[in-house]
Amino acid sequence: MKALASFIRATGQAGLFTLAVLRASLPTRDFLAELTREIYKIGGRSLPIIAVGGAFVGLSVILLGYRALDTYGASNQVSAMLGLGLYRELAPVLTALLFIGRAGSSIAAELGLMRATDQITALGLMAIDPVAKVVAPRFWAAVICVPLLTAFFISFAILASWFEAVHVIGLDDGTFWQVMRDAVDFRHDFLSAFIKAGVFGAIAALVAAYVGFHSEPTIEGTSVATTRAVVNASLLVLMFNFVLSALMFR
């Protein structure tokens, strides 16, 4: 009973935190400068891991798809499987998971350390809203960056798998592109992928900022917050992915 009450309270706290972040998001000059810095830090600097991750995911999807479809003599349809798989599920989810590992952990650690060294309290004492100063720019940077990183993920995955399918396995170049174009619908698949990615970015940043912001003001509290940010954000992204897929693709 007590556990249930505290669970409900924690949910309410998280909801109120989300509201506070949205209310604190005013496009002031300071906010935009912070936003630029955060886009560079958590977006631009995540590019290498996203590119390499995407390329290798594309390669293994081609191997898997070729093996499965060759049984039915339909191996030239492998790019349909690649395109649909990437846009619908793989690219938004894996980009979000890589992003959580790369940027979510650093957001949580940064805020946790600010809490531990009383910087957040100090901002409050100087009548600067710490949520507006520290959390809101990171939140919006994540909402902007994760869809863009998803685009990089997909393009590197398609490039790598094109190389594998056409130049290693020996499928036909024209068929590869045409089959993918026929399978991927702009509205249902392409746009849904980026809506999903935006939602995942928001989840990643909110969870990481929340646990960092509310961590115990000790060194150990910071490490607990970092772990919790990665675990909780990853689980939430996977759960929301199912819910969004069920709503979007039925």
Contact residue for other proteins among 44, 52, 117, 118 (CB under 8 A): 44
Contact residue for other proteins among 23, 181, 220, 227 (CB under 8 A): 181
CA–CA gap between residue 12 and residue 181 (Å, rounded): 44
Shortest CB 133 distance to other proteins, Å: 17
Q: Residue 215: name the closest of 101, 102, 118 by CA.
A: 118
132-171 footprint of other proteins as x/- string (CB under 8 A): ----------------xx-xx-xx--x-------------
CA–CA gap between residue 108 and residue 201 (Å, rounded): 14
185-224 footprint of other proteins as x/- string (CB under 8 A): xxx-xx---x------------------------------
* CA distance readout (Å), 197 to 65, 93, 126, 218: 24, 8, 36, 33
Angle in degrees, 0-180, between the axes of helices 219-249 and 192-213, rounded to the nearest 10? 160
Pick 54 or 130: Cβ nearer other proteins:
54
Contacts with other proteins by CB under 8 A: the residue count is 29
CA–CA gap between residue 35 and residue 143 (Å, rounded): 11
Shortest CB 88 distance to other proteins, Å: 12
Shortest CB 17 distance to other proteins, Å: 26
Shortest CB 184 distance to other proteins, Å: 5
* CA distance readout (Å), 84 to 64, 203, 242, 243: 14, 24, 16, 18
Contact 192, 229 (CB under 8 A): no
Residue type, 223: S
237 binds other proteins (CB under 8 A): no
DSSP 164: I
Query: Which parts of this chain interact with other proteins (CB under 8 A)?
Result: 36-37, 39-41, 43-44, 47, 72, 83, 148-149, 151-152, 154-155, 158, 177, 180-187, 189-190, 194
